[in-house]
Amino acid sequence: MIVRPKPNLINILSALKGSIAKRIALRSLMVTLLACVIVLVETLHPSFFAKVNATPFTLLGLSLSIFMSFRNNACYDRWYEARKAWGEMIVGIRSLIRETQVIKNANERQVILRNLCGFAHALNARLRSEKELDAACDWLDPMPAGNVPDISGRILIEVGRQCSALGESGAISEWRYTLMANHLTDLTRSQAICERIKHTPLPFAYTLLLHRTTYLFCILLPFAMAEPLGWLAPVFTAIVSYTFFGLDAIGDELEDPFGRDENDLSTDAMVRTIEREVLAALGATQLPPVLEPVDYVLR
């Protein structure tokens, strides 16, 4: 996720980190070169473009911009919903940290809280299609079997079992066990929301239609601009292609907010926040440092 102060005019014109320009530079350059060739042909043979009318491109561009805004809004909603799910997960773990203060056996409380930290690590790895057990193994007790299909869910099951055992033994009251079970349910809900976002992309046909229409519009646009604008046509073609290709690429990035792209969620930083709070609750004095943005990118 990009974290930087509000940019001034110079930053707006020069910033590359977090910009989509690097991903679409080749496409925009190819369309601009095509526009140069078309203008050259129009200059040498103006009769070829005498009957080209810009009105259809105006209508197509307006329709395309509206549909792209719908898609980008849908992608941003996915990004924001994922952030809310992680926020709810942090709330749930903080609540469990508070509720477990009544556990007199320090070792039992430590096992529960460290398992919760392992859950955060495992879920982060799961959403990135990485190995959950490798990410969470330093925090787990007991260690789940390696062939379990859902390590994150298994960790919550184990924490629930530990809480149930405390309730049955009288170490915690029945109503406090109910509160803790509700918080575990909230963690399960957050995991399910993230998995729904991860495994349910936008309809492929819808995305494919926008991709094709964007390329078609940017490639055909110079034919309409060559005659009225002359050698200014490549300049405006570059601007339009940057805008449409950029919106298309931003939608692709935001559609899956759990990866390692510059504009994806800073889930590593949120996991580190959970680590610090769990360790502080357990009395640790040496806490891992807060993750800071590196070149404006917070992972």
Given the structure tokens 């197509």, which residue do they identify? 60
* Angle at CA of residue 117, ends 111 and 123, nearest 5°: 130
- For 226-246, how does the pLDDT look when each residue is reduced to its tens digit (9 = 90+)? 777 778 888 888 888 888 888
Other Cβ atoms less than 10 A from the Cβ of 10: the count is 8
Is the pTM here over 0.85, yes or no?
A: no
Dist CA 249 CA 20 (whole Å): 7
Residue ranges per structural domain of the chain: 20-281
The pLDDT value recorded for residue 207 is: 81
User: Which residue stretches of the chain have pLDDT < 50?
Assistant: none
- For 164-175, how does the pLDDT look when each residue is reduced to its tens digit (9 = 90+)? 888 888 888 888
The sign of the CA dihedral 263, 267, 272, 278 is positive
Dist CA 158 CA 138 (whole Å): 16
